[in-house]
Amino acid sequence: MKTIIEPFRIKSVEPLRRTTPEDRERLLDRAGYNLFLLDAEDILIDLLTDSGTSAMSTQQWAAMMRGDESYAGSPSFYRLKSAVQDLTGFRHVIPTHQGRAAERILFTVRCRPGHVVPNNTHFDTTRANLEFTGAEAVDLLPAEARDTQARLPFKGDMDVPALERLIAERGPAAIPMVIVTVTNNSGGGQPVSMANLEAVREVTARHSIPLYLDACRFAENAWFIKQREPGYAGWTPRQIAQKMFSLADGCTFSAKKDAFANIGGFLCTNDDVLAQQEKDLLILTEGFPTYGGLAGRDLEAIAVGLDEVLHADYLEYRIASTGYLGRHIADAGVPIVEPPGGHAIYIDAGRMLPHIPHAQFPAQSLGVELYRHAGIRTVEIGSVMFGEHAQNELLRLAIPRRVYTQSHIDYVVEAILEVNARKDGLKGYEITEQPAFLRHFSCRFRPV
């Protein structure tokens, strides 16, 4: 059989609430045209993020009942620790309330003003947490990967010659770590090849610089390697993931992505001294090292999710369903980041709306219009989010795991094609108020 089906059935349903076009116009005005400031109840299909929005399985809910809420030494922590160690091989597993807490602890311990941290592409919280320590965040994506239309199998790869040049210029002492983000979220959800990870590893090892994975979507990345990289077709996703982690010295992880959990994260390292400093800081702000700001039941949900996410039938469905959305809009003329990524489709709004200058946020304009037209929420990944660091003006449609069915996605396709048919009438926006950090979460706009 050719048809790829959702590899689950539905036991508990959540009704969707419809709004009228007049409601949505009023709600947009009230939210300052920032989709983060809308209430979730006013959204029909929410593609804002795949973070923390997964549907948990019966096994995860059952495990939550087993959650042990002891302050110290909970058996739930030991179950999580052994699940993470089996997958990653890292000696120290430090739970945190989400990925950015792991980043903040790692960077606070390791980074100083004058330091520079390369990444294939820094995610927004990663860049912000690094810059908050005074360190400089540098994105090293090869030039060909920046062309949104290039259909390369591993567009998330780090530019290794550029990494060598950066190390030669700044010296290894100024580089406290190199980070590779799998998959490359801000770069289009594109995978990183094993060959690239090995090449980065060779460079970092030669200069004794620790290599970290920002591992949020390790399973989706492993599936792409299995599908696309010669030599891995016969490997299980778990074997591929284990090899990816074996090349690194540590990782940060948001369990809100490839662990199907609604909250949680962790930080791993093999360095005993570093782990002790990290745990000291963890106690100060997150909690005791055997719960790290999470309930015992959350630790259980993560442990189970880390296993489920590597099931081949799940990953096949996951990557195929993202590709389904991407192909249906791209083949009808909507420019997307090619090829479709793992967790999201990114519409290249700069290319779709050439009449709106970047300083007037074309992807923001498209996102507002999709909500106005069909109640769909998406997120801008461009000049609103990254200011002058933005490489493209993208609108991300992130797909929550195991949540929406194919008919929901068909509705999204129809809405996008209808907006595309009258795209020349879309107008730009300007910012009227903004905070000092991560402005996209709370700034307000007005139409130009």
Ligand X SMILES: *Cc1c(COP(=O)(O)O)cnc(C)c1O
Residues near ligand X (CB under 6 A) are 51, 98-100, 123, 125-126, 181, 185, 214, 216, 254, 256-257, 265
CA dihedral 436, 124, 306, 239 (to 10 degrees): -150
Position closest to ligand X via CB: 99
Return the number of the residue (184 or 360) whose C-beta is nearest ligand X.
184
Is 125 or 193 the residue whose CB approaches ligand X more closely? 125
* Cβ at position 200, least distance to ligand X in Å: 16
Write down the least CB distance from residue 181 to ligand X, Å. Answer: 5
Provide, rounded to whole angstroms, the least separation between the CB of residue 255 and ligand X: 7
Omega prior to 183 cis, within 30 of 0: yes
Distance between CA atoms of residues 177 and 240, nearest Å: 23
If the CB atoms of residues 53 and 185 are measured against ligand X, the closer one turns out to be 185
- Residue 222 or 352: the one with the smaller Cβ distance to ligand X is 222
Shortest Cβ 254–ligand X spacing (Å): 3
Q: How far apart are CA 441 and CA 41, in angstroms?
A: 18
Q: Is the peptide bond before 118 cis (omega within 30 degrees of 0)?
A: no
- What contacts 5, CB < 8 A, 6 or more positions away? 317
CB-nearer residue toward ligand X: 100 or 238: 100
CB of 175 to ligand X, least distance (A): 19
Minimum CB–partner distance for residue 130 and ligand X (Å): 11
Q: Smaller CB distance to ligand X: residue 225 or 251?
A: 251
Lookup result for tokens 């939550």: 64
CB of 99 to ligand X, least distance (A): 2
Nearer to ligand X by C-beta: 54 or 360? Answer: 54
In the bound complex, what is the minimum distance in angstroms from residue 169's beta carbon to ligand X? 26
Both structure tokens of 336: 């997307």
Least separation in angstroms between residue 252's CB and ligand X is 7
* Residue among 221 and 365 whose Cβ is closer to ligand X: 221
For residue 212, the cross-strand partners are 179, 250
180 close to 121: Cβ distance less than 8 angstroms: no
Of 90 and 123, which has the nearer Cβ to ligand X?
A: 123
